[in-house]
Structure 1
Amino acid sequence: MSITRELCAAIERTKFDDFPADAIAEAKLCLLDWLGVTLGGANEPLTRILIEVTDSLGGKKQASIIGHARKSSMLNAALINGSASHALDFDDVHFQMMGHPTVPVMPAVLALAETRKSTGKDMFTAFILGFEAECRIGSSVLPFHYQQGWHATSTIGRFGAAAACAKLLGLDTERMNYSIGIAGTQAAGLKQVFGTMSKPFHAGKAAADGLLSALLAEKGFTCSEDILAGEAGFCKVLSPDCNPEMITQDFGKSYAVTNVIFKRHASCFETHPTIDAALELRTKVLPEEVKEVIVEAVPIALEIAGKPEPRTGLEGKFSLAYCAALALVDGQTGEERFTNENVLSDRMVSMRQKVKVNANEDFGLTQATVVVRTNDGREFKACADTLEAGSDKERRKADLIRKFRSFADRLLPPGRTDSIIEFVESAEKQKNVAKLLALCRP
């Protein structure tokens, strides 16, 4: 049996009752976080462009556009909602796929679930397994795949969306295999576009392509039977340094969703350790006292978020220098701090120009240090590990709910935010997921 078919067989036989309680609990948080950041991105320029273009193309009104009183086709809804949910770069992350796991999967699952009137239990089953598939595939090709310039959220996310939708459609192993294959032959997405609208577009396109792959496979559309581990397949072509056997190893013993990381700052995750360290120092030194700031971070953080002179709010999310300055000056790192005006303000530019960023190969992905030297010769140092900062589960959940409210309360009528939270908390008991999407309309 091929690696791809073995993965599909494992997904086909897994049921909701096979999941441990912590996997279901984390899936609920993924859903709530995704709804929040999608509402937050609902009126971003890229979202409005996508709505305008897809409206001009026509199609059946099948699935809801989050944050808008409108529907579009399933594929268009997955594209728009997936792109909107990644527009702020405030969505969850996972090291196993070195990317953002929920944004390619959830919009595809919800578009299909709403159209097919699926239950909450079936929706969660599909989502958790799609999440699992992309993380397992990610573990087999990383870090080489990412280091070569591929945006894993896009390339690997398609597999997650395809697997999840195939599961929700109830496809057998053969047709699910075709779904994975069709997704794999569409895999694309380059890191060159980071800091532009095309990065969040990757997430939406992955969601739409994954959903399309499952719908085609449902009708008998064929593809390679081993797109993952074949000689000219995904792993060997896009990551010659790969280990496809990892994709199916010990399937079902644990679930990747239990290790998801939710963002507390509205910027690239690789800026978070720097922000955490700088926030600690803000309590010890005033901005006007700062003479010099030295940031040390893992080399890949400089590669991804090393923009020295950001000119837009979006570029600011990918600038360690700006993020360090922001933490020291404002002490706030929500979406409202990543505007063009704030990035270019005199006070932020002045502090950013004092920041020097160096690579430290001994650091892990979640570690950074910040040193602040003052005009009168004092020196302060802080070390941060973002994983440690998110280890308190109760505080983590409370922070996530506050984050969700910060976006939902701006856009939705009074009381609607509470209704969404209540629905998500009991989503596995709900008979029709479409009710949740209706709550997300202004």
Structure 2
Amino acid sequence: MASTHAADTDPVATAPTRALADWIAATPGSAVDARALRWARHCLMDWIGVTVAGAGDPLVAILLDEALADGGEGDIPLVGLSQSLRPSDAILINGAAGHALDFDDVNRTMHGHPTVAVMPAVLTAAIVEGRSLEQALRSFVIGYEIACRIGEMTGDGHYDTGWHATATMGTFGAAAGVCHLLGLDAERTAHALGLATTLASGLKSQFGTMGKPLHAGRAAQNGTKAARWAARGFTSRPDGLECVQGFWETQGPDAAPYDIDWTPGTPFLIERNLFKFHAACYMTHSAIEANRTLRTRHGIDPVQVKKVTLKVSEGSLRMCNIPEPETGLQVKFSLRHTAALALAGRNTGAVDTFSDAVANEPDLIELRRRVEVQPVKIDRSEASKAEVVVELTDGRVLHEIHDVGVPATDLDDQEAKLSDKFATLIAPLLGTARAQELRQTALTGTGTAPRDLLLATRAD
């Protein structure tokens, strides 16, 4: 799907909220081609894996207790848990659980985590409306597209100022996906997007706390509310993105709307999705990979390490540079500690690596204190790139550069890696046979109802 920033004379760019609504309403599910649908199934499998694993996080128990205390029993299954709740509560908890481990996918065009905000919304809507899993996935691709499109139009300044795009852009994506699944016309979809502008919120200052996973759940929940309220006739500003004191004027200092010039056959932005293979903030991943490469290639023993210099983008310091983490959750947002883990040969793809005990291991603390984070000016297109310099006690100086921000082109290879990740997350909780059944359903299932899929994530 091609896009160009529109000139001042472009008539579509003067009413971008309605233009987006027109596109959502006019794009049939059949427009989602086989390749995009395969990407969506990869996203589904990965989301199931991280959500089942995240369902045991303490923040999920707190949200569940509150929902039950508020009479939240219903028909929508919680992923990996034995309870079923009312749609709104289930969406919130399934979204938060999926982001609890910070192991879910990202998209740099959106500046955040798309699947965890959009998938629980469209799956729940499909259950409520009696739609198929494939219909839900096609609407997921549309919602994903809108989260990324509005993220791109909103610009870098939104995220740099302190807004968490998973929370804000995720709300738009969830609203768009549910509007599409409900088959709303352009007018009501524009009102839903307008409602999303006033519901979208979430700050990066919550990184390293339970507040960050909550952002994903609230985005899914609020986006769904916006769509369902609009379906009932609730109105808002149908120009909510661009109007005076609207979303972009207040939250997008460098917003640049453009026309969506789409024709069948052009790739959807889901093909820029980036999956995570380390259970930490995505901006630590390139440094982890570089340190792992150096350790393996040169047989580094941590005691040989004199100094480590991490050269990363300046923006990384505002999201994952906790210098002295004290908890496992904080370790996920510490460039220094994750570098130490990689050099020590720890498995950063294992959930239990990010524990409070690991945060406070004396050997790791001593190693991370030999790590220096050096911010450098990097072009936005390479913001996830990291250069690592390791100085050893024998005088050797080792260099490695890595960038995890390059989307896959070999989908068979991606599927194999995701399947390994899925098995690592699911098999210890549900058993190998159940993990394989779930994997097959996510990747190829056509007759499975969305509700049955979620029920299948429960332990016997």
TM-score (normalizing by structure 1): 0.96
One-letter code of the match for 2:397?
Answer: E
The alignment partner of 2:277 has SS state of coil
1:403 alignment counterpart:
421
Letter in 2 for 1:259: R
- Report if aligned partners of 1:117, 1:434 keep a CA contact under 8 Å in 2: no
2:274, 2:407 within 8 Å by CA — same for their partners in 1?
A: no
Pairwise CA RMSD = 1.6
Shift of 1:112: 1.7
Establish whether residue 378 from structure 1 lines up as the match of residue 396 from structure 2: yes
Given the alignment, which residue of 85, 94, 112 partners 1:72?
Answer: 85
1:226 aligns to what? 239
The equivalent of 2:355 in structure 1 is: 339
Deviation larger for 125-134 or 280-289 = 280-289
Which residue of structure 2 aligns with residue 348 of structure 1?
364
Count residues with an aligned counterpart.
440
Contact map agreement 2:45 2:443 (CA 8 A) in 1: no
Where does residue 295 of structure 1 map in the other structure?
A: 310
Q: Does 1:437 align with 2:450?
A: no
Aligned residues of 2:67 and 2:89 also touching (Cα < 8 A): yes
Q: 1:390 deviation in Å?
A: 5.1
Please state how far the C-alpha of 1:59 moved relative to its aligned partner.
3.5
Task: Spell out, residue by residue over 1:161-200, the C-alpha distance to the aligned partner (whole angstroms, 9 max, x if none).
Answer: 0111111112111111121111111111111111100000
1:311-366 Cα deviation digits (max 9, x unpaired): 11111111110111000002421222111101110111011011011012136222
Residue 111 of structure 1 corresponds to: 124
Identity %: 38
The normalised TM-score by structure 2 is 0.92
Match of residue 341 from structure 2: 326
8 Å contact kept, 2:336–2:368: yes
Give 2:32's aligned residue: 19
Select which of 184, 191, 196 maps to 1:171: 184
Amino acid at match of 2:338: C
Among 219, 223, 231, the alignment partner of 1:206 is: 219
Distance in 2 of aligned mates of 1:278 and 1:425: 33
Shift of 1:370: 1.1
Match status 1:419 vs 2:437:
yes
Letter in 2 for 1:340: D
- Partners of 1:184 and 1:6 lie apart in 2 by 15
Shift of the alpha carbon at 1:414?
4.9
**In structure 2, C-alpha distance between the alignment counterparts of 1:389 and 1:18, rounded to whole Å:** 22
Distance 1:389 1:432, change over 3 A: closer
After alignment, is 300-309 or 75-84 more displaced? 300-309
**Residue 37 in structure 1 maps to residue 50 in structure 2:** yes
Which of the residues 278, 281, 288 maps onto 1:275? 288
State the secondary structure of the residue aligned to 1:305: coil
2:159 to 146, 151, 159: 146
Q: Name the SS for the 2:319 alignment partner.
A: helix
Q: Is the 8 A contact 2:117 2:216 kept in 1?
A: yes
Amino acid at match of 1:237: T
Cα deviation, residue 231, structure 1: 2.2
Is the 8 Å Cα contact of residues 134 and 157 (structure 1) preserved in structure 2? yes
Question: In the TM superposition, what is the alpha-carbon distance from 1:18 to its structure 2 partner?
Answer: 1.3
Could you say which residue in structure 1 is the equivalent of 2:7? Answer: none
Give 1:136 deviation, angstroms.
0.3
Counterpart selection for 1:238 from 241, 251, 257? 251
SS at match of 2:386: strand
Deviation per CA, 1:181-228: give whole Å up to 9, x if none: 111111111111111000000000011111111111111111111111
> Using the alignment, how far apart are the partners of 1:171 and 1:338 within structure 2?
43
| Cα distance in 1, alignment partners of residues 384 and 413 from structure 2 | 19
What whole-Å deviation, never above 9, does each CA across 1:278-305 have from its counterpart, x for those lacking one? 0011121211111111111111112211
Give the CA deviation at 1:433.
1.8
How far apart are residue 425 of structure 1 and its match? 2.1
Tell me, in whole angstroms, the C-alpha distance in 1 between the residues paired with 2:186 and 2:219: 22
Q: 2:112 aligns with which of 99, 114, 129?
A: 99
Higher mean alpha-carbon deviation, 382-391 vs 141-150, is at: 382-391
Structure 1: state its 5+ residue gaps: none
- For structure 2, the residue ranges without an aligned partner over 5 or more in a row are 1-11
Alpha-carbon distance, 1:440 to partner: 1.1
Q: Which stretch of the first structure deviates more once superposed, 373-382 or 23-32?
A: 373-382
Q: How many Å separate the matches in 2 of 1:388 and 1:12?
A: 31
Cα deviation for residue 64 of structure 1 reads 0.8
Q: In 1, are the aligned partners of 2:145 and 2:269 still within 8 Å (CA)?
A: yes
* 1:231-268 Cα shifts (integer Å, max 9, x gaps): 2221222113111225x344763311011000011111
Paired AA for residue 5 in structure 1: R
Structure 1 stretch displaced more, 140-149 or 354-363: 354-363
Does structure 1 residue 309 correspond to structure 2 residue 327? Answer: no
Give secondary structure in 1 for the equivalent of 2:74.
coil
| Contact 1:140 1:235 (C-alpha < 8 Å) held by counterparts | no
